[in-house]
Structure formats: C-alpha cells, structure tokens
Amino acid sequence: MTGTSHHRQERLRRAAEEQLKDRLLPPWQKRVLQRLAVEAGNGWFPLLNRFAPHTPAQRPDMVLVGRQGVLAVLLRENEPDWADSRAAFVWVSELLAGAEVGPAMLTEAVVSVVVIHPQAHTGQLGAGEEHTAVTEDKLDRVLLHGEQLLSADETRWVAKHLDSRTFDLAPIMWNAQRIPVPRGDDAEPAELFDPREQRLHNALQQPFRDWRIFLDGSQLGAVRRRYSGPARITGPAGTGKSVIALHRLAYLARRTTGKLLFTSHLSNVPAVSAEQFRQLAPHLGNRVEFTHLHAWARDFLAGRGRLAEVDDREVELAFESVWQRAELSAPLRGFRNSRGYWKDEVDRVIKGRAIGSFEAYRTVPRKGRGRPLPPDFRSHVWQFYCEYERELSQRGVFDHNDVLMRALAELERRPLPRQYAAVVVDEVQDLTLVGLRLTRAISGDGPDQLLLVGDGQQQVYAGGWRLSEAGIELAGRGEILRHNYRNRNAVLDRAGRLEAINRFDDLDGGPSVPLDAVLPELPGGRVVEWHGTDQENALLEALRGLDDDSATAVLTSTNAAADHWWNVLRAAGVATRPLDRWDGRTTGPVLVGTLFRAKGTEFRNVFLPGDVEVGATFREDREAVLRRRLVAMTRARDYLWIGAPHRR
C-alpha cells in the first residue's frame, strides 16, 4: 500500500469515526463499520440501518452495494437463525426486485446475505445455504473476491435507488444526491431514452448462457404474483414461460421452507433447467429438485419398497409380440396400417388415461387422434391392449405408464410425509392425463403450490386432455404471455407462417395466442432456406460461415437422421456433442439431436436439414409434423437454416 493510499484511507476511517461517534454500538461493530466506510473510496456504497444497534426484526444492519452485488449485512456475536438471514434477504430483494436502474432490471440474483462476527468468534464460518459468514478481520473475503455482477455505473445507480426507497438506510461516507440520474447516449435527449430497449440491447450483448435467464421488467408480475390455488403460464414459443418459472422458483424458495420440485415429461428439460437455475440462484440449488416425472415416480416407489425399474427392451418386445399376431393386429392394420399409431393409442389414450374397462374406452374422447373410432371397432383395440398387458405380465415387466399409475395409487394410499413447498411442471402439454393427476397429487391445491407451464401449439406427443379431467381448476389463475423474447424478427416471422394446430386448448379451453400474433421484441435475425442436391456440403459451408458458432444446434426429426448428421459433422472436423447428453453448461461444440430433445432449449443458431417427415397421409400426422417443425424453428434466436433437398 502506498503512503498516499494509506493516508487517504486513514482520513476516510477518521471521518467515518466522526460520523458514527453518537451511535451506541459495540466497539467491534464500530470497527467493522469504519472498515466498510473506507470501502466507499473503493467502489462500495455502504448504507447503515438508521436504528442500529437496535435494528428492527427482519432487517439487515446494513447494506453494501458494489461490483460483487448487493450484500445484506448482519452484525452478530453468534450465528443467526436461518430465518433471520432469509428475512434480511427478502427485505432487500423487495426493495430491488424489478427496479429499472439505468439499463439494467434487477432480480434477486444480485442479492446475498453476509454475517460478520467479531474477530474472537470461533463458530462456523464460510458459505452456507442462507448466508456467508466471516469474522471482522476477514472482510476481504467478501469485499475483494467473487464474481462481478454489476457495472460501476449500475453500482452507483443501485445505491441511489436504495437510498430513495426506504427511510431505514442511511449512506455512510457518500452522498446520494451527487449520483447523476441514469440516461441514454449523451447525444440523445434524455426524454427519448428508452431504458427497456437499452436493457434488451445490453442483455443481447451478454454471453448466450446469461441471455437464457434474462427477465424483462414486464414479466416480474408473473414471478411475484400470489395465486390462491393451482395456476398456469401459457403462451406461444419464446414468450419466456420457462424463464419466468425459474425466477418464480427462486422467489418462492426464499420465502418458504422445505423442498421445491421442477419436473417435466421430458428427461432433458430438468437437466438444462437445473443449470439455468444454478446460474440464476447459485445458493438455492439444493432447495429445488430437478427431475423428470418418470424418474420422480421411480425413486418415490423405490423409497416405499416397490419395484419401479422399467426394462425398455422387454417392453418393446412385448408390444411387438402382440403386433405380430395377425388375429389381433389385422383389424387394426385394416383401419390404419401404422404400428406407431396403435402404440400411441395404448400408451397415450388407454394407459395414459388409466382406463380400466372397455365400457369406459368405448366413449372416451380421443382429441387429436384423427377420424373417430366407431364404438364397436374399439373392441378390437381393447382386445389388443388386453393381450399386451398379458404379455407384460408373463414377462414379469411393466412399462412407464405403469410406473406413473403405481406412484399415483401409492400417493393416494399414503401421501408424502412432507409436501413440497411448490411444484413447477414444464412442457405440461406433453404429459399424459395420469401424469397430470400425479403432479396434482404431489403438489396439492394450496396457494402457490402448483404451477403448470406449457403451450398446446408445441405438443409433440399424441393424445389430448383437459385440466378439469385431472381435477385441476384454474379459476382464472395464471398468465397468457404475448411478447416474444427468444426469436429475432426474421426467425419469428418464418416460424409464424406454420399453422400448428392447437390441440391443447391453451391448458383448458381458454383463448389461445397463435405464434403469428405475438409481439416481437428482438429486431434483425437471418433465415436461410436452401434448395439443392448437395445438402451436406451446403450445411457445412453455412456452418463455417457463421460469425459466432457458439450455441449452435443441428436438429432432426429422427434418431437415425441425428446419427447421420453426427457422422457428417465429425468427418468434416466439426466438434460435436449429442444433444441428449447436454445439460446446458456450455455453449459449444455443435449440438446434434432430435427436436424432441430440443424442447425447453434455445440456441443462437439452428440448422434444420431436410430430413423431416414428408408425405403424411392423415391430417393429424401433417399437423404433428407442423408442430414439431414449429418447435424446432423457434429454438433459434439469431439464425435459422432450413434445408430442402431436391428429391431424386
């Protein structure tokens, strides 16, 4: 430390001592405050609670604003109760959440709690679930280290914002009145400055992994709203449904006790969402369980001593054995010669609804399944289903539907000993009815306990249902989102031309918003529609021509096509990774996988080679193809490449 710097800090320390002389604080707390006041010359803005040392309950003793974020500081002789730490966090977060300070919109991700003990303290130190604890002589651990979350300008603006929001906090060693009000470019009149537009612009300049958790100020209401029972968030692709759900989980985790659950029908969605949540709220990662619904049911049953493992190979052989029996499959083939169609009928209609009798199946609605099955003909389907069940029994196996049904029956017999504080179900439109009933049994119907997130236009699995069939009544609770934050204009316009039929009735019969009716937020973008004979070289050339090839995916409609393009890219020297092994932690190399695995993801660049299904005979099949193409196209933010090779 130079002599000039030392003298400057000594002057600041003495000035702080003079400012604090009338405070009846313990000597060690005065030392801490004098030390922190010195940091006003190093980019930190300390605000002391006006009532300290008699700080009101559920308030921090002081707040520090700096490049490492906003620190809610508790001065304690002993380890505080976790509830005190959480209350301090919530109080500061309430002051900050949604504040548009300069070009940034603040969220709880910038807030953390620090407990400072006297030097002689011998208890537990370090980072815990609710706070980080240090002694007064180790303050550098929180002041000089850690990830920088705010710019220098944002730091000043946040400090000014806090000073203006509450009487409880008073600045030490700095004057809020001297901080200028944020404005736009100096060459632009202040009244024309649009902080929301600037906020979007700044977010787009950040690394893509940061962009994936961007929250616009207009979305904050959905994060913080209180619902008296089950609620839903719906809206077309790219409107921020999943991002809002993650921010809401962080918001609820800080205000509740116990575990929270994020689940989905799709196995990859929880893994990617867990990584986004760790980035958003790293100290809350152990409060939220991220798992797909079948894995939850399997683990739950195993914990109750029930068999729950599924042998997929044996299940497939069981179905194939029945399909090869002409006397059983011939009537079905005559009506529609498609093995996949009838497997969906068993999985998504009969077992997916837990239909237990032919009489119930005779009249069940089959929304989205094409031309009606005459009631008398359904007897052939029921006989086929019964033989499939007998085959499973003889092999001593059960399928994934059985796992969900067994878990639901076990929950009805003996509920969870401790309920989740909240349950979020993403991509809910792809659950079966049994899966939906299971999520309701897991969550219950209490306030803020169940949030359903989905969009019927993105349904990629057969079947359909209404929420009321699962005993879920929304009663107007929820949000319909209409602003697209994922896709740039060109991408959104191209995807909006697809007529993806909504078979899901916007979660229960409410008005749906088609993709071409949403309000775009991101200008620009580029869409390339290639036609020709050498698609492999065309795609490779386009890939090499990208300005930024990070966060790039090649999406296909089948596993065989994904394997083909994996080999093509690898042979060309392109670093690749299977999409089904990606957890969202990196933005490279190029990801390759099916559009089913792309659900719940987004990328900077998306390539759709022309291997999608063609020549679909039935209307519902054509609609399914369109919905899958819609899902794939709307994964792209900046660049979309669509291949259409000439058929030879």
**Taking the domains of the chain in order of start, what are their residue ranges?**
3-178, 222-306+417-495, 312-397, 525-645
Contact (Cβ atoms closer than 8 angstroms) between residue 227 and residue 424:
no
Cβ-Cβ contacts under 8 Å for 113 (sequence gap 6 or more) = 60, 71, 72, 73, 74, 85, 88, 89, 130, 131, 132
Query: Is 123 assigned to a binding site?
Result: no
**Encoded tokens for 179:** 């901080």
CA 45 – CA 174 distance, rounded (Å)? 7
Looking at residues 331-345, what average pLDDT do you find?
93
Helix or strand holding residue 279 (H, E): helix 268-280
**Encoded tokens for 450:** 């169940």
Question: According to the model, what pLDDT value does residue 5 have?
Answer: 58
Half-sphere exposure of 124 (CA within 13 A, CB side): 8
Looking at residues 482-493, what average pLDDT do you find?
92
Number of Cβ within 10 Å of residue 556's Cβ equals: 27
Q: Cα 347–350–355 angle (5° rounding)?
A: 140
Looking at residues 423-447, what average pLDDT do you find?
93
**Helices first, then strands: H and E counts in the chain:** 22, 23
CA 242 – CA 234 distance, rounded (Å)? 10
Question: According to the model, what pLDDT value does residue 335 have?
Answer: 92
Q: Cα 315–318–321 angle (5° rounding)?
A: 150
CA 103 – CA 250 distance, rounded (Å)? 23
- Choosing among 3.30.565.10, 3.90.550.10, 3.40.50.300, 1.10.579.10, the CATH entry for 222-306+417-495 is 3.40.50.300
- Provide the whole-model pTM: 0.77
**Encoded tokens for 359:** 């009489």
Question: According to the model, what pLDDT value does residue 505 have?
Answer: 47
Question: According to the model, what pLDDT value does residue 467 have?
Answer: 85
| CA nearest neighbour of 604 among 97, 174, 265, 212 | 212
| CA nearest neighbour of 495 among 518, 479, 512, 523 | 518
Number of Cβ within 10 Å of residue 320's Cβ equals: 12
Q: Burial letters for 409-419: b for 16+ Cβ neighbours within 10 Å, e otherwise?
A: ebbeeeeeeee
Give pLDDT tens digits for 350-407. 999 999 999 999 998 887 787 889 888 999 999 999 999 999 999 999 999 999 999 9
| CA nearest neighbour of 331 among 368, 372, 383, 370 | 383
**Encoded tokens for 480:** 């319909």
Whether residue 260 is predicted with pLDDT greater than 90 in this model: the reply is: yes
Looking at residues 571-587, what average pLDDT do you find?
87
Cβ-Cβ contacts under 8 Å for 52 (sequence gap 6 or more) = 23, 25, 29, 61, 62, 75
Question: According to the model, what pLDDT value does residue 41 have?
Answer: 63
Whether residue 138 is predicted with pLDDT greater than 80 in this model: the reply is: yes
Query: Is 263 assigned to a binding site?
Result: no
Whether residue 607 is predicted with pLDDT greater than 80 in this model: the reply is: yes
Query: Is 463 assigned to a binding site?
Result: no
Query: How would you class 331 by CB atoms within 10 Å of its CB: exposed for 0-12, middle for 13-18, buried for 19 or more?
Result: middle
Query: Is 241 assigned to a binding site?
Result: yes
Q: Which of 40-54, 88-102, 110-124, 420-434 has the lowest mean pLDDT?
A: 88-102
Question: According to the model, what pLDDT value does residue 581 have?
Answer: 85
Superfamily of domain 525-645: P-loop containing nucleotide triphosphate hydrolases (3.40.50.300)
Looking at residues 109-119, what average pLDDT do you find?
88
Question: According to the model, what pLDDT value does residue 125 have?
Answer: 81
Query: Is 238 assigned to a binding site?
Result: yes
CA 183 – CA 198 distance, rounded (Å)? 10
CA 451 – CA 229 distance, rounded (Å)? 9
Looking at residues 485-496, what average pLDDT do you find?
93
Give pLDDT tens digits for 218-237. 787 788 888 999 999 988 88
Cα-Cα-Cα-Cα torsion 225, 257, 255, 78, nearest 10 degrees, comes to 180
Higher pLDDT, 627 or 554: 554
Query: Is 242 assigned to a binding site?
Result: yes
Q: Burial letters for 18-57: b for 16+ Cβ neighbours within 10 Å, e otherwise?
A: ebbeeeebeebbbbbbbbbbbbbeeebbbbbbeebeebee
User: Mean pLDDT of all residues in the chain?
Assistant: 85
Q: 643 - beta bridge partners?
A: 530
Strands 62-66 vs 69-75: parallel, antiparallel or unpaired:
antiparallel
Query: How would you class 394 by CB atoms within 10 Å of its CB: exposed for 0-12, middle for 13-18, buried for 19 or more?
Result: exposed
Phi, psi values for residue 147, rounded to 5°: -70, 140
Looking at residues 429-448, what average pLDDT do you find?
93
Tell me yes or no: is domain 3-178 CATH 3.40.50: no
Whether residue 1 is predicted with pLDDT greater than 70 in this model: the reply is: no
CA 552 – CA 540 distance, rounded (Å)? 13
Cβ-Cβ contacts under 8 Å for 623 (sequence gap 6 or more) = 368, 500, 501, 503
Query: Is 237 assigned to a binding site?
Result: yes
Q: 113 - beta bridge partners?
A: 72
E strand spans, 455-558: 478-480, 483-488, 519-522, 526-532, 552-556
Looking at residues 144-156, what average pLDDT do you find?
80
Half-sphere exposure of 315 (CA within 13 A, CB side): 14
Q: Is 133 helix (H, G, I), strand (E, B) or coil?
A: strand
Per CATH, 3-178 and 222-306+417-495 having the same topology is answered no
Question: According to the model, what pLDDT value does residue 386 have?
Answer: 97
Q: How confident is the model at residue 570 (pLDDT cuts 50, 70, 90)?
A: very high
CA 552 – CA 607 distance, rounded (Å)? 8
Half-sphere exposure of 464 (CA within 13 A, CB side): 22
CA 434 – CA 399 distance, rounded (Å)? 13
Question: According to the model, what pLDDT value does residue 16 have?
Answer: 67
Higher pLDDT, 374 or 124: 374
What one-letter code names the amino acid at 543?
L
Higher pLDDT, 103 or 199: 199
Query: Is 584 assigned to a binding site?
Result: no
Looking at residues 100-124, what average pLDDT do you find?
78
Looking at residues 600-623, what average pLDDT do you find?
76
Query: How would you class 622 by CB atoms within 10 Å of its CB: exposed for 0-12, middle for 13-18, buried for 19 or more?
Result: middle
CA 525 – CA 510 distance, rounded (Å)? 32
| CA nearest neighbour of 292 among 263, 258, 325 | 263
Q: How confident is the model at residue 190 (pLDDT cuts 50, 70, 90)?
A: very low
Whether residue 255 is predicted with pLDDT greater than 90 in this model: the reply is: no
